[in-house]
Amino acid sequence: MARLLAPGLRPMWALTRYHDSRAMLNSSQFQFTVDSLTIRPDMPDSGLTYLESMLIDGNVHRRLRRLVASAFTPRHAQRLRPQMALIVAGLLDDLAANAVDGQVDLLEHFARPLPMDVLCGLMGIPASDRALWRSYGAAVSAGEGDRWSDVMPGVLESTRRAIEGRRTDPGADLISDLVRVQADDGDRLNDTEITGLIWLIMVAASTTADFVANAVLALLTHPLQREALRSGVVPMPRAVEELLRWCSLNVFTIPRYAREDLDLHGAPVKAGDPVVAALVAANRDPRVYPDPDRLDFDRPSGTPSSLTFAHGPHICIGAALARVLVEVALTGLQERFPGLASAAEPDGLKRVKDPGTWRLESLPVRLDPAPDQDGRRVDADTTVDER
């Protein structure tokens, strides 16, 4: 247990051990409220109403999760894999087209547009609106609060139009699924609830961009693990699970608030105090993950999943979609550009100055291996790297 002080955020209690963090995330002693939004600055008022409709707890939250669960199952995510693969293929074409002398910023031209393009495809957003949604995704990924305010009204209007259209003419897309969903007792989502859910998915999808960049950099700097993945010795889903643990985007979870005064592992937590799980510590807890700083695709079966998607009632509803998307993205990259290599020294890459996330400002890469002094092509994976 530690007291966490971060610029721009109020003091928080942070749990650092895996099992303590997991228990807190699953405990009714802590609640998830709209105050949790303060972890992201400058949330414009035009979007707050919709987000408030989803950032609730207890029976109201259970009702919403029950209504939308069928649209976010692992089986449903797997059915969307071919559609995701087509979008990835198109973005890989764009990546090559934007390369200059074989070099390109993978974050800007692949990772950042990827999740929003996939989300627009899943929701059936018309092509005329997709540039706006990409702009929103780029603003979230870059952490630019002012741009949130600039693009939010347009995205809200696009969402409202989409919901209205699906009520009269439903299709095979996520918004149609949410409009059609009905519980046995006749309960349905209203438009505000659907819009709020889409907002949360949009924010979560945008952060997937930065995780993809983290994962690609991890593979580029761990050639033995990359070769095991590329050769098929390690299945992609297993690799993605370990990458989620090893290079999680988020430093800590969204705050939960204590419902009452309590003693939490020796710390005097007061009612209303924010409490978080420190993912960078919990996901590398040596009590759970032996040699935790090692990127290890061969961890034994039965090893607990990381807390990257949180745990308990508020576990990320889009976790299955995110897993499949990352699998498709990394598979597409390794198949299209097997010689992909970093175009900058890893130690020289800059990270965004954000106390809550661990993300790159850019990721310059070479799409083909560089020739050596004799003019031969040098594979990027010839360096031995154990960590």
Predicted model pTM: 0.88
- The model's confidence at residue 230, banded by pLDDT at 50, 70 and 90, is very high
- In the chain, where do the E strands start and end? 2-4, 12-15, 30-31, 103-105, 256-258, 262-264, 267-269, 274-277, 341-342, 364-366
Coil/strand/helix, residue 276: strand
**Distance between CA atoms of residues 172 and 166, nearest Å:** 10
- Is 251:13 a contact under the CB 8 Å cutoff? no
Which residue segment(s) compose the domain that 216 sits in? Answer: 2-366
Q: pLDDT tens across 161-194, in order?
A: 888 888 889 888 888 988 888 666 778 888 888 8
**49 — pLDDT class (breaks 50, 70, 90):** low
Cα radius of gyration (the chain): 21
> Taking phi first (over 0 means left), then psi (-120 to 50 degrees means alpha), and beta for anything else, what does residue 18 get?
alpha
285-290 long-range contacts, CB within 8 A, separation 24+: 285/16, 285/17, 285/18, 285/19, 287/17, 287/18, 287/19, 288/18, 288/19, 289/18, 289/245
Q: What is the pLDDT of residue 15?
A: 97
Residues 6+ positions from 374 with CB-CB distance below 8 Å: none
User: Which residues are CB-neighbours of 282 under 8 A, at least 6 positions away?
Assistant: 15, 16, 17, 18, 20, 21, 22, 307
The predicted structure's pLDDT at residue 365: 97
Residue 372 within a domain = no
pLDDT digits (tens, 9 = 90+) for 265-277: 999 999 999 999 9
Let me know if residue 242 belongs to a domain.
yes
How far is the C-alpha of 91 from the C-alpha of 297, rounded, in Å? 27
Q: Are 34 and 52 in contact (CB under 8 A)?
A: yes
Do the domain assignments include residue 134? yes
Residues present in the chain in total: 387
pLDDT at 35: 67
| 371 assigned to some structural domain | no
**Structural domain tally of the chain?**
1
- Phi, psi angle pair for 377, to nearest 5°: -80, 135
Whether the pLDDT of residue 227 is over 90: the answer is yes
Dist CA 372 CA 358 (whole Å): 34
DSSP 284: T
**Residue 223 within a domain:** yes
Distance CA 310, CA 16 (A): 14
Q: For residue 256, give the nearest of 338, 312, 179 by alpha carbon.
A: 312
User: Contact at 8 Å (CB) between 12 and 275?
Assistant: yes
| Domain contains 377 | no
Q: Is residue 385 part of a domain?
A: no
Q: Check which CATH number belongs to the domain holding 88 and give it.
A: 1.10.630.10
The DSSP-derived string for 144-178 is -HHHHHHHHHHHHHHHHHHHHHHHHS--SSHHHHH
**Tens of pLDDT, residues 297-347:** 999 988 999 999 999 988 888 899 999 999 999 999 999 999 999 999 988
Q: Give the integer Cα–Cα distance in Å for 337 and 377.
A: 14
Does position 42 have pLDDT exceeding 70, yes or no? no
Inter-residue contact 303 to 293 (CB < 8 Å)? no
Mean pLDDT computed over every residue of the chain: 85
Q: Using one digit for the tens of pLDDT, what is the confidence trace for 129-158?
A: 888 888 777 776 665 555 666 767 777 888
* Percent of the chain residues topping a pLDDT of 70: 85
Residue 387 belongs to a domain: no
